[in-house]
Structures are given as structure tokens and as C-alpha cells.
Structure 1
Amino acid sequence: MPKFLRIPLTGFAFVGFFSFGCIAGWLGLPILAMWPGSPEVKRRRIERIICAIYRGFIGFLHLVRLIEYTRPELPPDFPRSGGYVLIANHPSLIDTLLLMGLTPGLSSVVKPHWYSSWMLRVLMRYANHIPGADRTAALTDGSSDMSQDAGSDGDMPAVVDRMVAHLQAGHALVIFPEASRSWERKMRRFRRGAVEAAVRAGVPIVPAFISVNPPMLMKHQPWHEVPDRRGAFRVEFFPVIETAGREIDPRQLNRELRAMYDGRFAEMLRERDATALAAAPVAQLPQT
């Protein structure tokens, strides 16, 4: 699809998502909540619907060729029930939707202004998201993402406490340790709030890596700055880290995770550079 068509289509997609999220939150989900069933049946029904909303939006972006994406199969060691922390790098604006569309029941820590937004606050509560700290700027450096990481090296204990209680209640969380979208060619430092919450709650950590080639929807990049080629997104998983019954130093584990992500991020940069080089026009030889 030509670039000049992808620009308005991208704007239409995001306006449609927020509008549909508003309608689903204020009308659709309350109706579903009144359907017969036990509280557990109702909860699982709503989780499946919300997961389908995220999948539907990503599927629409793929269908109209704004992105290239195939939802991955969950690995054999992926937790099938109970609380766990799914962590990932954060290269683009749609990472939260990619991850929450993987399986029902995932929620996240969101910025207070999104949690109280008139448009999405009902959806946020039905999705069981956790309100983040008021010190949003300190954690996210002004990012416009909905998601917000908890705890800047332990300086947000109230948010980490909420995460621990959420996990111990059997819920799963998506957290981006970078707290804000990555730079184009460098990851941000990993905050340890996600690891600390998982260790305290005794739940598994599921490390995932999101790659996108070429980069798009980056931090400080307007939505209308689409790349010349549609971005190819891929979600892949590292081995699950069990924390229950183990003596784990969150600081050390966080450093090890960061090193692992740095290695994979460097591979992604090489993939991007190779693709860009292959797509570049061949220089014409001078005429003799």
C-alpha cells in the first residue's frame, strides 16, 4: 500500500480503537456483566472479550497492511493459570496491545490520567488494570503510552505493593521495565519494579522480546510519520523464570535480564540495518 494511503488509514485505525473502547466500556461490557453466571464465569467471559478487542485491533492493522504480524504460539512453559509477570522491551506504541492479545486475563499498570479518563476508565476497570503512581513524569519521561512501569528502583513502593497483591490474587501483569518506549537504537535502563513484585509474590516471570522492522510508532514520533515499508512485528519468548521457593536477588536478576535483552536488541538492529541496506536503491554507475 502506498505511503500516502497508510497515513490517513493509521489515523482512522487509532480513532476507531479509542471510540470502540469507549463504547465497549460504557455499554458492551456492563451488558455482558449482567449475563447469568457465577462471578468467576463472568470474569473469564469479560477477559476473553477484552482480549478479543486487542486481537481485533492488531488484526485490523495487519489486514489493511499497516503492519505485518502473526500472533505467536505460546511456549510450552508459559503459565496457563494463576499470577505471573510478562515483561518485554518497548519499541512501539502498540506493544501493550500486542501482548494483551496473546491470552485472556492480562492486565497492566496504567497512568492515572488514563485510569480516570472519561473515555476509557470503564474499560480500564473491567480489564482489571492497576492505577500507577501520580509521579508519572518521573517514571515515563513524558511518554504518551497507556502503560506505566511500577517502581523506579524501589522509590514507588505503593505501586509495587499493588502489583504484589494483584499477582497474589491470581492475576497476570504485563510490565515494560523500560517504563517508556525505547530509543530507536538503544534501550532504556531496566527498572526493577516488575522483578521485585514477581519475586515477592512468588510468581513466574515470562520474558518476551518485541522486534519491529523498520521501526515505527516510536517515542516522540508522530503517528503520521509512517515508514516507507510497513513494520514487521514479532513477539518471541525467552525461558520462563520460576521464583517460587527460590532465594533471588531482584537487583541481580534484573541485571541479568537487561544483559539478555541487550543482546537480542543488538540482533534486531543488525536485522534492521540489513533490511534497510537491501531495500536501498542501487547507485547507478557513471556513464563512460
Structure 2
Amino acid sequence: MAKALIRSLDYAWRLFATALSFAVFGVGGMLLWWLVLPILALRPGLPAAKQRRAQYAVHLSFYAFIGLMHRLGVMTYRIDGLEKFNRPGQLIVANHPTLVDVVFLLSRIQHASCIVKASLWRNPAMRGPILHAGYISNADSQAMLDACAERLREGGCLIVFPEGTRSVPGRAYRFQRGAAALALQANCLVTPVVLRCRPSTLTKAEPWYRIPARRFALTMQVGDAIDIDAFRAIEPRSIAVRRLTETLQDYFSERRMNDEHDGN
């Protein structure tokens, strides 16, 4: 009886803490847009320098948000290979199991861009960071690819989810070819990042309030850079893109299979 009561109280607290966390996220996003980022933009400097300041402000706010969720008991987290981040001209390729993946990544990368849905430009909690930090819209595929390649060639860091949307638990990965095409066009450093969430939560099919029976654990495993030189030698480029996409998909699929085999 006592154990059942404790579990019920724990669940109720985590549900409240989850709601509080997302409320703080929304308010924080609007404060960034209306107050923090405009003040940073007033400081002198070239547009690229202003973008980096905005990216760093987003990084700090997301770092605080992940810390808040951890301290409230909503989640735990572990990161392996953090030292492989924050390198110039780095394309970070990650799987996408949860709603907070990009927040988790940006909380550990000081200066990074990412591709965002065109609809998020109308989201009051996200519009400010998107505009000031120079995030890239997916409204036009070719324009998006060109903008991403230019950002990487200039030494920027970019986060890409090759699935294009959040993963569906139990369904095999199906990577789109954009990440591979971008890597070959920019001739950049490709760093794979495997994200895991146990138990599964905040997936595309789950609303935020459908929380798991216990707090969830996020893990981030930063892999070694993938050598793309061999793929750049393949002609035509469409074949090179297809083979690199297959290599990336196999990389993440193999690690998912290992997780399932180990029972993680």
C-alpha cells in the first residue's frame, strides 16, 4: 500500500514537473525573443558575430532547461564523447527519438545552427532564437541545402536529423538523402550522434502529458568522425549520396540492434 502511494505521488510530481518545465521553456523562449536577443543584437559586430552570440545565448538557456528537468526529477542524462563537439565546420548527424533532442544537443554545443520546420517561424517560443541565431528553414529544399553548405564552409556547426522527423519506436530507420548530399557538397566533418531515451517518451505519437511510469533517461553517444573522402570519389554524385546515406543508416541501425540485443 505504501509503495503504491509513493509511486502515485512520484507520478503526480513528475507530471506537474513536466508541465512546469515546458511552461518555463515557453516563457524563456519569449524572453529570449523580446529581451535577451535584441539586447545582444545591439552590440557592435558583423552579422556572423551577432549570430554566434545569439547561438551561445540559446546554448546557455537550453543548458539551464536540461538542468531544470534533471533537478525536478523528470529525467536523467549521460553523455559520452562530449570532447568531440564544438569543432569548426562540423556536421552533426543524429537520430531523433524524442521532442527534446535538439534542445539536448544545443545544450552541449556552444555555437550551432539547425534546420527548423517553416511552421516554427510562427511559434512565439521559438521565433526569436530562430531569427537571431540564424537557424535555417526547410521551406525550400535547394535553398536550405545551399544555406547549410555555406554555413559549414564558413566554419559553422550544423545539426541534422536525417529521418526528417522523430523516430517511430520499433520501426526501422529510413534516412532521407539530404544529410549525405549536404556532407558531400560542403566536404565537411561528419560526426554521428546516437541518442537514446529509456523508457520511450515524448515521441511523435505521444503528447507531453503521457509521461512514463518512471523518470526517463537520455543518453548521448558522440561517435568518431565518418570519413567521406571515399564517397566524394564516386561518380555520379547521386550514387555517392545514396551510398553515404546507406552508410549512415547502417551506422545507426546497427547501434539500435545492439541496444535491443543487450536489453537497453
- Find 2:192's aligned residue among 207, 214, 218: 207
**1:64 paired residue number:** 72
Counterpart code for 2:33: G
1:194 aligns with 2:179: yes
Offset of residue 45 of structure 1? 3.2
Verify: 1:231 aligned to 2:216, yes or no.
Answer: yes
Following superposition, the deviation at residue 223 of structure 1 comes to 0.8
Task: Summarize the alignment of residues 1-288 of structure 1 with structure 2, pairs less than 5 Å apart.
Answer: 2-35=10-43, 42-75=50-83, 78=84, 80-133=86-139, 156-243=141-228, 246-247=232-233, 249-271=240-262, 274=263
Residues 210 and 235, structure 1, Cα contact 8 Å, conserved in 2: yes
Q: Deviations over 1:30-52 (max 9, x none)?
A: 11222356666544433322111
Q: Deviations over 1:83-107 (max 9, x none)?
A: 2210111111110111111211111
8 A contact 1:26–1:123 mirrored in 2 = no
The CA distance in 2 between the partners of 1:187 and 1:181, in whole Å, is 12
SS in 2 for 1:13: helix
| Distance of 2:68 and 2:228 partners within structure 1 | 37
Gaps of 5+ in 1: 135-155, 276-288
Size of the aligned set, in residue pairs, is 250
Q: TM-score, normalised by structure 1?
A: 0.79
Aligned partner letter, 1:128: G
Cα distance change, pair 231–119 in 1 and its aligned pair in 2 (3 A): closer
Measure, in 1, the Cα distance between the counterparts of 2:39 and 2:256: 43
SS at match of 1:70: strand
Q: Distance in 2 between matches of 1:269 and 1:118?
A: 39
Deviation at residue 268 of structure 1 after TM alignment = 2.5
CA distance in 2, matches of 1:6, 1:199: 44
Unaligned runs of 5+ in 2: 1-8, 235-239
Deviation digits for residues 151-174 of structure 1 (CA, Å, limit 9, x no counterpart): xxxxx3332222222222322111
> What root-mean-square deviation, in Å, do the aligned CA atoms of Structure 1 and Structure 2 show?
2.2
CA distance in 2, matches of 1:244, 1:25: 41
**CA 1:188 to 1:247, structure 2 compared with 1: closer, same or farther past 3 Å?**
same
Per-residue CA shift, 1:47-98, capped at 9, x if unaligned? Answer: 32211111111111111110111344424xx364432210111111110111
1:168-220 C-alpha deviation (Å, 9 max, x unpaired): 23221111111111111224300010111111011111101001111111111
Give the distance between the partners of 1:269 and 1:222, measured in 2 at CA.
25
> What's the TM-score once normalised by structure 2's chain length?
0.86
User: Share of identical aligned residues, percent?
Assistant: 30
Distance in 1 of aligned mates of 2:160 and 2:188: 14
Structure 1 residue ranges, 4+ long, deviating more than 4 angstroms after superposition: 36-43
Aligned partners of 2:229, 2:122: CA distance in 1, in Å?
34
